[in-house]
A and B are shown apart, each in its own frame.
Chain A
Amino acid sequence: MNLWQIIKRELYEIFLKDPRRIIFIFGAILIYLFLFGSLYEPGIVKHVPAIIYDEDQSHLSRKLIKNIDDSETFEIVQNASSEEAMLQALDNKEVYAAIQIPRDFSKNIALGHPATVLYMVNGANLVFANTTATAAQDIINNYSDNIAINYTSLRLGLSQDILTPKIIPIHYNLRMMNNPIQTYLFFFCIGLSMTAFEQGLFFAVGASVHYDLNHLSELNGTPIYKLIFGKLLLHWSLATIAFISFLFLAGHVWYVPVKASYIKLLLLNSAFCFAVLCLGIFIAAFFITELKFVKVSLVYVVPAFIFSGYTWPLESMPASMQLMAKIFFPLTWMSNPIRDLLLSGTTNNLIQDILMLLSIGSVCLVFSVKAFNYGRKKHEQLSAKANLKFNY
């Protein structure tokens, strides 16, 4: 078979004979985008149910409660009548945060003594703990500043305008780059879709390899390198179209910003698809059945995501883990750079990422020819054995 015949044959298999392959290539990335897009649609955690235990019951404590209730982060759902009731509500998960205002709260403020508001949160879920702790700190600090200005001006007999710059001498403005509202949608969706993309490409190319190994007679002595090249070319082209569809849907349906130029994004994606497809062919050819290959690739996908440094930074991992992530998981060179490119328009070292992906792909490509040869011999032996049994 020449290259055109190989591609025609693959096209026939992908679209007509075994259409699940085209579903894997397009479906995995797009369905994951939809799934996680809908999951993280709210973007940030808001309206966390909270309980207030106001022992002071004063004008000042009520003002603080109003400030807490006005914030988007908290939703006061209960007012506790005792400390036990407050802890009980936390234990029963009726609420996830609790704020206790002590008995002498307003008295201490009036006397110029420090007053402490106790904030409690269930730390088992860090998303709750981090989000609400930051918000609680902000609310109470602002409240403290206002009280400080009011009471100090009364005590010292100075106007609030003169006192304000003394009480709050430093203003700091937080500027969050690239993901200003810190939405989980932008943070997670991109990497998870890439993980599914990798899995989909594995399944598709694995099915293609195993179809050929099970139908060796159809190959008519076609050189293996030509066969692999044909497979790669077609799968790579389809994967590129799938990636462009992802970019379009991510931008238009979930409003993920696409700040980098398409050339950069496509270059990175091309290198990623090349690495994943070569790795897929290499591993698939080693297994005697497609089922075994699918099982192994399913076990591979979760560690690939976790080790890629997408959520837990690569720099915080032990050196051996970092090395493993860089060598065995192409996702490591794709997940963070693609997020950077989409959200900020630039990434630290795009050329290095692309070169690393091309290197992984090239090594796998060389070995995939050998692996395919190995697989072919195994299948030939098996069919010879089966024929022998049948004749006997």
Chain B
Amino acid sequence: MVSIQENNRTFSVGLAQKLVEGAGVLPNEALHMVYPVHIGVRLLNNPTTGYTSFMLPGIVLNGLQIALLVTVTPLLSALCRRNIYGPDYSSFLLMTAKALPYWFLGLISYAVSLAGLTYLWAVPIRAQIWKLLLLGGFFIFAVIGVLYLFSAMSPDETLAVQLPLLYIMPGLLFSGLSWPLLSMRGFSKWFSSTMPITYAGDCIRDLMLAGYCPDFAYNLKMLLTVGFTAGTIAWCIFTLRRYISDKITQKMRYKQ
């Protein structure tokens, strides 16, 4: 559409110039008469308006959270169902021990994806690497916290993986990465604010393309808050479920 507008404009200005020249005006002067105000457009941070730079960083984060969804979500449900660990192991210990390998492997996978983005798809990395890794680390923490919550609430592992379909999957589009946050209203604005990717999607793109993210500290704080809040609620539910499960097991043993 923009190119059609530009073509029409150029043609119209050229024709107007010729018509004004007919009134005895010199060509150059005629051009300035019919087209006195020009626009100079300067696109910051993505001068070629490339879709690769625009979308890929967010898609990487979305892929990462789907990978975590598939691997982390069944964990707590499985622990509740199987009841392998007795009351000697605290819920906090079990949750932390289970989460740490996924957090670490997630971070490695994120770092490899960043390398892929820049070396394979030529998306620039303008910020310092530690900032990107810090953001990735906090993002994975928040996603694990949220997924733990789904896991603790679900009666079985299959439902635990299916439930976040309505939360994690729309994340990319609710994150403000394409449709801007300031155009969201009411429910969608609130829904978006609960998602970890909202605090990481735009920020990772800013870090990569512009070299800075004005809300970097705020985003880290929000990722920490989301992860910690969801993780704490998950811990409460998980502890309660384990307690009930232990009681039932004790009763059964007593009966036998």
**A, B assembled together:** yes
Q: Which chain A residues border B214 with CB–CB below 8 Å?
A: 91-93
Q: 1/0 contact trace for A122-147 toward B, CB 8 Å?
A: 11111111100110111011011001
| Interface residue? B120 (CB, 8 A) | no
In the complex, the answer to whether A129 meets B37 with C-beta atoms within 8 Å is no
Q: Report the bound CA distance from A113 to B66 in whole Å.
A: 57
In the complex, the answer to whether B40 meets A117 with C-beta atoms within 8 Å is yes
| Interface residue? B236 (CB, 8 A) | no
Residue of B nearest to A109 (CB): B36
| Interface residue? B49 (CB, 8 A) | yes
Q: Report the bound CA distance from A122 to B219 in whole Å.
A: 19
| Interface residue? A353 (CB, 8 A) | no
B102-110, B141-149, B168-176, B224-232 - interface stretch? B168-176
Q: Report the bound CA distance from A207 to B69 in whole Å.
A: 19
In the complex, the answer to whether A114 meets B51 with C-beta atoms within 8 Å is no
B4-12, B129-137, B247-255 - interface stretch? B4-12
Q: Which chain B residues border A251 with CB–CB below 8 Å?
A: none
In the complex, the answer to whether A123 meets B45 with C-beta atoms within 8 Å is yes
A32-40, A336-344, A355-363 - interface stretch? A32-40
In the complex, the answer to whether B182 meets A172 with C-beta atoms within 8 Å is no
- A112 in contact with B5 given A122-B44, A192-B173 (CB within 8 Å): no
| Interface residue? B196 (CB, 8 A) | no
In the complex, the answer to whether A115 meets B36 with C-beta atoms within 8 Å is yes
Interface residue count on the A side (C-beta < 8 Å): 85
| Interface residue? B198 (CB, 8 A) | no
In the complex, the answer to whether A118 meets B69 with C-beta atoms within 8 Å is no
CB distance from A303 to the nearest CB of B (A): 10
**How many residue pairs, one in A and one in B, have C-beta atoms under 8 Å apart?**
223
- A166 in contact with B16 given A127-B178, A156-B25 (CB within 8 Å): yes
A216-224, A252-260, A290-298, A368-376 - interface stretch? A290-298
Q: Report the bound CA distance from A343 to B209 in whole Å.
A: 36
A41-49, A235-243, A263-271, A378-386 - interface stretch? A41-49
Most chain B beta-carbon neighbours within 10 Å: one of A124, A156, A168, A188:
A124
Interface residue count on the B side (C-beta < 8 Å): 75
| Interface residue? A249 (CB, 8 A) | no
Interface residues of A in 139-188 (CB under 8 A from B): 140-141, 143-144, 147-148, 151-152, 155-156, 158, 166-170, 172, 174, 184, 188
Q: Which chain A residues border B95 with CB–CB below 8 Å?
A: none
Interface residues of A in 177-207 (CB under 8 A from B): 184, 188, 192, 196, 199, 203, 207
In the complex, the answer to whether B37 meets A290 with C-beta atoms within 8 Å is no
CB distance from A34 to the nearest CB of B (A): 9
| In-complex Cβ contact of A127 among B44, B66, B179, B191 (8 A) | B179
Q: Which chain B residues border A38 with CB–CB below 8 Å?
A: 185-188
Q: Report the bound CA distance from A108 to B9 in whole Å.
A: 21
In the complex, the answer to whether B191 meets A170 with C-beta atoms within 8 Å is no
In the complex, the answer to whether B46 meets A116 with C-beta atoms within 8 Å is no
CB distance from A296 to the nearest CB of B (A): 9
Q: Which chain A residues border B169 with CB–CB below 8 Å?
A: 196, 199, 298, 301-302
Q: Report the bound CA distance from A46 to B162 in whole Å.
A: 36
Interface residues of B in 182-210 (CB under 8 A from A): 182-188, 191, 202, 205-206, 209-210
**Chain A residues within CB distance 8 Å of chain B:** 20, 24, 28, 31-32, 35-36, 38-42, 45-49, 64, 90-93, 96, 108-109, 112-130, 133-134, 136-138, 140-141, 143-144, 147-148, 151-152, 155-156, 158, 166-170, 172, 174, 184, 188, 192, 196, 199, 203, 207, 289-291, 294-295, 298-299, 301-302, 306, 312
